[in-house]
Amino acid sequence: MRSYDYDLVTIGAGSGGVAASRRAAALGAKVAICEGDRVGGTCVIRGCVPKKLMMYAAQFADAFADAAGYGWTVVPPDFDLTRLVQAKNAETARLEGIYRTMIANAGVTLLEGRATLVDAHTVAVGDRRVSARHILIATGGAPSHPPIDGLELAIDSNQLLDLQEQPRRLLVLGAGYIAVEFAGIFAGFGTEVTMAYRADLPLRGFDTDIRTRLATAMADRGITLAHGFEPEKIERTPNGIRCHAKDGRTVEADAVLNALGRHPNTAGLGLEAAGVEVDARTGAIVVSADSRTSVAHIYAVGDVTGRAALTPVAIAEGRAFAESVFGDTPRVIDHRLIATAVFSQPPIGTIGLSEAAATAAGHAVTVFEADFRPMKHTLAGRAERAYMKLVVDADSDTVLGAHLIGADSGEIIQALAIAITLGATKADLDRTLAVHPTAAEELVLMRTPRGG
């Protein structure tokens, strides 16, 4: 029998790769993890964590504005993006140190350098080659760069996080998670923001009622929404950067954010040399339910597979892989029911089927909803509203989906997700006593179906 340097070599030290490697090592495997950039991956270094820190910073604009309604006198505030970025960088550096410590304490060897597959059992890291009985690919995703003339003048989300000078005008291209989140963040900082996108509403794939209310809330916050805008050309002008749409419209800004999607980070990994199949259209690594690639002993988890591009999903997939391969407890992750939050302003929380998706799947649905002005906004004089929606199967009474927009939606949906994952019915919610006064209590107080 052939001997190997390691039982497992993981390529990519992001959330999924680190979780899988630590679990495999705890189960007795000899593990090495390769990373060509900073340890911690997209979420910790250039994604979820720094973005949410910036979101917190932007929310102070609301707090300052609302304070007068509660009796406070606030000196006119002044925002310094450079100070925020320095503080954010210090925190991500601290977190990277924690990730390095976790890897070391787990007994996992960190191989620093860009890793490529040489063959089905060999990984090259710089000038070094190591062999492995099993290989896990967890290289995540990267910002996409569609073929738009002059797109190199735009910055992507990685670069935006390290911007030292606040732009007076920001054009955001796109309307997904990244686009709506950064549009809200920079609007909170006081930047004039335009968000331009091809569809009629932001956040394609979300429930229509949530999308509609988000668009209204963003416009009420002073963000210009240019829907039906398909960028064709970007050019530098004496006054900044101008973006041309195919229909002749133009938008000028001091900075342009390319938030036109992300793609699986598979380029240059040597997948062909190892015989790993890749989806020809998306570039994602093709995997089975247990994260196995077309090569029996090579696996992939996280964004690189093109499944659900969410950090907790990558972590769950990584741990399931390790337990299946090294713990003799085979299991797979069910991707059909995943709670998620969008840290827009106001934030969104959602789980399960939208109303349209439930109907398309053949369910007869009953919809319950609550639309209200949160108590916190009354004294402040803020007009912003909250909205909650439950999509219920009319025959079984099972809650098929929950969709929220308003303060703390991300926190609320996490708790609600437990009940829905367990198969909660509308009757289960009805018999749950409310916690008063809270916004979340509306979820257990809805009694009359829409149209009823």
Cα Rg, the chain, nearest whole Å: 24
Which DSSP category does 43 fall into? I
Residue 395 annotated as lining a ligand binding site: no
Q: Is 52 annotated as a binding residue?
A: yes
The closest alpha carbon to 419, from 430, 409, 408, belongs to: 430
- Burial string for 115-146 (b: 16+ CB within 10 Å, else e) reads bbbeeebbbbbeeeebbbbbbbbbbbbbbeee
H/E element, 400? strand 399-405
Residue with the two structure tokens 């916050």: 221
Query: 127 a known binding residue?
Result: no
Contact 352, 400 (CB under 8 A): yes
User: 185 exposed, middle or buried (CB, 10 Å; 0-12, 13-18, 19+)?
Assistant: buried
Positions annotated as catalytic residues are: 436
157 phi, psi to nearest 5 deg:
-65, -30
Element (H, E) at 88: helix 81-105
Query: Is 16 labelled as part of a ligand binding site?
Result: no
- What does the alpha-carbon distance between residue 301 and residue 309 come to, in Å, rounded to a whole number? 10
Sheet holding 169-173, edge to edge: 224-227, 192-197, 169-173, 255-258
CB count, 10 Å around CB of 434? 12
Residue 285 CB neighbour total at 10 angstroms: 26
Residue 308 marked ligand-binding: no
405 is in an annotated binding site: no
Q: Is 176 known to sit in a ligand binding site?
A: yes
> According to the annotation, is 175 in a ligand binding site?
yes
Which single residue is written with the structure tokens 């007068």?
A: 68
**Three-state DSSP state, 351:** strand
Bridge partners, 131 (sequence order): 122
Beta bridge partners of 225: 195
- 327 a known binding residue? no
From the annotation, which residues make up the binding site?
52, 174-181, 261, 303
Q: Which residue ranges are tagged as binding site for FAD?
A: 52, 303
Annotated binding residues for NAD(+): 174-181, 261
